[in-house]
Structure 1
Amino acid sequence: MTSVSSPSPDPGSGPQTVTPTGRRSLHGFVSGTAIGTLGGLIGLGGAEFRLPLLVGLFRLPTLEAIILNKAMSLVVVTAALLFRAQAIPFGLLWDHLGIAANLLAGSLVGAWWAAGHAMTMPRAWLNRIILALLCGLSFLILAEATVGLHQVATPLVQAGMARTVAGVVAGFGIGVVAAVLGVAGGELLIPTIVLLFGADIKLAGSLSLAVSLPTMVVGFSRYSRSGAFSVLRAERPLLSWMAGGSVLGAALGGMLLGSVPTRWLMLLLGVILLISAIKTFRHR
């Protein structure tokens, strides 16, 4: 008995349905724009907020979410570095190359080491570590909002071997966090550059991007050896739309900078990050 297939509906004859991939891409663009805008308002890329979203809302496995988050962070940081070039020219960054080199000496090693361990670590332990790191970042954001860690006129450590060693150690820790969470690490780099080297806050923001970019490239290349790296192909629409929304949001946040009280916004975002991290990773 032969079955007669019903004719396909005329594309223009009825209401159009959005495919699951289309809905996923739309949600990625909207959430990326929102996170990018809020992050831009307080001077962060927003990757620490994207990670719980990728795991909780988009249901990605943890390691795949880290890799996708790192790919988006590479795009956002590159765009942010170009956006800031008018305010902080590359020549000024070159004059402070020693600060970036000091931190990179530790962060590159930390990113390579941490990414290698994250690929082989049991997922339960990886989730516990991510939960601890995200909670730590949320407390750091809350501390900045209440205490003002950036308001330092002189460096805590005078120039010399002690500062160089401290920079390498701090860079290593920042590289570990950046690799495990797939973030740029600005929330750690900026206060480190201000407190340790006594740099101006605006200069510290651009220097943090200059350190973040090669650090993320090293971690990203290390993750390329993992089978989970295939998520970049499987989730290409989500990656493209969410990264595009993040860049747009970062630009909007930069333009709206100063229109919203930063202190209260940081308090709100610190609480949101803490709650979302606990809800997303505790049960895992």
Structure 2
Amino acid sequence: MTASPCSALWWGAAIGLLGGLIGLGGAEFRLPVLLGLFALAAHPAVRMNLLMSLVTLAAAAVARFGLASFPDLAAHLPEIAALTVFAMAAAWFGAGLLARIDAHRLTRLIAGLLAAIGLLLLVEAVAGEALHLGAAPGGWWRPVAGAIAGVGIGLVSSLLGVAGGELIIPTLIFGFGLDIRTAGTASLIISLPAVAVGVARHARAGGYRDRVALLGIGAPMAAGSVLGAMAGAALLPFVPAGALKLLLGAILLASSVKLWRKGAAVAAG
């Protein structure tokens, strides 16, 4: 650990601000900081990131459900239910799988997933509505597609320590035709139980026994993430989302390259 609780608080706030501006929890940006600046090993960094994702999600849910009107999700319940159930199952499996992946392979896997998310953000920023399928509600394929997507999202969530909103929201918008506000609310409903399952599996396996890391990094960074995410949501109307996604996509790609090189160094050393 190479940084103070104060530094963790400020980094958490900055990352939460970025996440709030684009409608994410910021976990995908928090993970490179935990690995690089705070010098956590890959496995503890993923577990810590997942725990902070749960805290941030809970705060976002309270803010959204308490202050905003709840959208009508009735027409989309089949795919939302399938996404939720299969994401939870995959998150439980993925949390157990994490312990069986060595540090070198996990670092490479994280680098690849970050690169994929970065590319997704870039594609979203450039293509926008061009990717929207405009699918009408109903149809037997929707819960099936939701189940398949849920498996992938649950695995990524547990292996990367993220809430999965960066995958859930595009899936709901471009695959099932939800508008952005409805997709954001549905993403919280899907993410919360999936992340909670992953955290519970890690806790059961003793993944959160390091009290020094929890109090010195986890607690202040989670607090900063919550405050930053709220500030980012307040600033959202004044910031071009497309330009921000381009910037953050580029940051994630750069982070993935750095982590890939780190994995190569671990293998060589």
Query: What TM-score, normalized to structure 2?
Result: 0.90
1:167/1:196 contact within 8 Å kept:
no
Find 2:183's aligned residue among 204, 207, 211. 204
- RMSD, matched Cα: 2.1
Letter aligned with residue 237 of structure 2: G
Residue of structure 1 in register with 2:69 after alignment: 88
Higher Cα radius of gyration = 1
1:101 aligns with 2:85: no
Q: Map of 1:1-284 to 2, 5 A cutoff? A: 24-85=4-65, 86-89=67-70, 92=72, 96-148=76-128, 152=132, 154-155=134-135, 159-231=138-210, 234-284=213-263
1:93/1:206 contact within 8 Å kept:
no
Cα deviation 1:147-193 (Å, max 9, x = unaligned): 115873722x7623222111100010000001111101111101111
C-alpha separation between the residues in 2 aligned to 1:230 and 1:120?
A: 19
| Structure 1 residue ranges (4+ consecutive) displaced by more than 6 angstroms after TM superposition | none
Query: What TM-score, normalized to structure 1?
Result: 0.86
Residue of structure 2 in register with 1:17 after alignment: none
2:79/2:145 contact within 8 Å kept:
no
Letter aligned with residue 218 of structure 1: V
C-alpha separation between the residues in 1 aligned to 2:133 and 2:64?
A: 23
* Worse-matched range after superposition: 229-238 or 43-52: 229-238
1:119/1:226 contact within 8 Å kept:
no
C-alpha separation between the residues in 1 aligned to 2:188 and 2:180?
A: 13
Q: Secondary structure at the residue paired with 1:120?
A: coil
Flag the structure with higher helix content.
2
Instruction: From the superposition, tell whether residues 210 and 233 of structure 1 become closer, same or farther in structure 2 (CA, over 3 Å).
Output: farther
Identical residues among aligned pairs (%): 45
Letter aligned with residue 260 of structure 1: V
Cα deviation 1:75-131 (Å, max 9, x = unaligned): 100111111122232x74577543421211221121111111111111111111111
Unaligned runs of 5+ in 1: 1-19
C-alpha separation between the residues in 2 aligned to 1:242 and 1:95?
A: 38
Cα deviation 1:250-282 (Å, max 9, x = unaligned): 000010012121111111111111112221343
